[in-house]
Structure 1
Amino acid sequence: MSELYKELLAGNQNWVRNTLKLNPNFFDSLAEAQNPQFLWIGCSDSRVPATEITNTLPGSIFVHRNIANVVVHTDSNLLSVVNYAVEVLKVKHIIVCGHYGCGGVKAAMSNEDFGYLNNWLLHIKDVYRLHQKELDAIEDTHKRFDRFVEVNVQEQVHDLSKVSFIQEKWKTGEFPYIHGWVYSLKDGLLRDLDVTINSQETLDKVFRYD
């Protein structure tokens, strides 16, 4: 069991061989620079890898992941990634992607004590509080869970739109677009929640920077 990690190294070698068969210059091109058009803010869940589920190559998507794809305005890690993406890489689209069956969202639905993780789950519990009337009205637990996943993505999209340097970008153009998607582990399909934002117009006045 202690040697299990070596499977990853062997897998890497197989991947390199197969990639070079298809494109002998792939790694030469990849090493020159990255020019992604997309930033992906997703869940850390190992079952939701951004490039694989979108059938894109390495270098196509700049990625930040955390438990339950949460946008926290005091998270310097996330803010640094987003700032680099929009200011340096000039990404055109930011995708906040949740997934049905998310363990973080499920934990936030419960009253179970998860120790240190409770502090992170508070951000997700706040989403439940904002949508409590709708969620509590859903009697089927599984359907309520799925809907909680969706409204969590929706709120993270709105939270990202409040970030000051995102708003600065919108003063001079239409980019970046911020999208909210959900991935289904059951069928492998992505669903667009139709909550795209690319201007200050959807923000309450108190959140806008003149």
Structure 2
Amino acid sequence: MNTLKPLLARNRSWALLKLNSDPHYFEQHLHQQQPHSLWIGCSDSRVPAEVLTGSHPGELFVHRNIANMVDPADDNFMSVLQYALHYLKVHRIVLCGHYGCGGVQAALQLPQMALADESSALSRRIGQLRDVLGHKIEGAAPKTPDPETLNHLVETNVITQFSRLVQTQPVLDVWRSQRELNIYGCVYELATGHLKTLIEKTAEEAV
């Protein structure tokens, strides 16, 4: 029977392990959180922000969605961004894509997919991603894209979403106030577990 018991058991084991190594582990962030970074990543289950960065609870404020998209019209995304910058006052944003991204591949192949005929949130989201990537996708939509083409589109998507992020109002407000805020566009390699920086912009460069 598929129940929650295995997850609950692993949760108890994890909590016990943490308490055994540090009796005050959970008390540190009991009354407030003070993360140093906002992580904007893909919802892909293979790219867990805290795990791949070796972070502890309280260190990362996290927003994940399909293909790590930055959408100024999305209240969910924008509320996370605003809260992280203006209330938690993080001084770093990491926008992270990953090679082998299913969302980017779907955007590439959308005209050949049944998804294109749907009226659904997923179809609209992938269609929006295809529009955002624009000319990088037009004329290059093979049924089975080669890894090099897909990896290039993943990097293009990170750089494109990064350019949208640095133009959002909450980011501009922080930079205009001359508060420290550095933004990084990274890609994660599933095969090695390594992060690679593709693009960055610091508070000093924004002035």
Q: TM-score of the superposition, structure 2-length normalised?
A: 0.88
Q: 2:45: which partner in 1?
A: 46
Q: 1:189: which partner in 2?
A: 194
Q: 2:154: which partner in 1?
A: 149
Please tell me the residue identity of whatever aligns with 1:149: V
Give the aligned length: 198
Q: CA RMSD in A?
A: 2.2
> Could you tell me the percent identity over the aligned residues?
39
Q: 2:18: which partner in 1?
A: 19
Structure 2, gaps ≥5 residues long: none
Mapping 1:1-210, distance limit 5 Å: 1-3=1-3, 5-110=4-109, 111=111, 112-114=113-115, 115=118, 116=120, 117-132=122-137, 136=140, 141-173=146-178, 175-193=180-198, 195-198=199-202
Please tell me the residue identity of whatever aligns with 2:169: S
3-state secondary structure, aligned to 1:173: coil
Please tell me the residue identity of whatever aligns with 1:16: A
3-state secondary structure, aligned to 1:94: strand
Q: Distance in 2 between matches of 1:200 and 1:73?
A: 24
Q: Residues 140-187 of structure 1: CA distance to partner in whole angstroms, max 9, x if unpaired? A: 721010010011011111101111121111112153222100111111
Structure 1, gaps ≥5 residues long: 203-210
Q: Distance in 1 between matches of 2:174 and 2:133?
A: 30
Question: Where do 4+ consecutive residues of structure 1 move more than 3 Å?
Answer: 198-202
Q: Distance in 1 between matches of 2:56 and 2:106?
A: 33
Q: Distance in 2 between matches of 1:201 and 1:46?
A: 34
Q: Distance in 2 between matches of 1:200 and 1:107?
A: 37
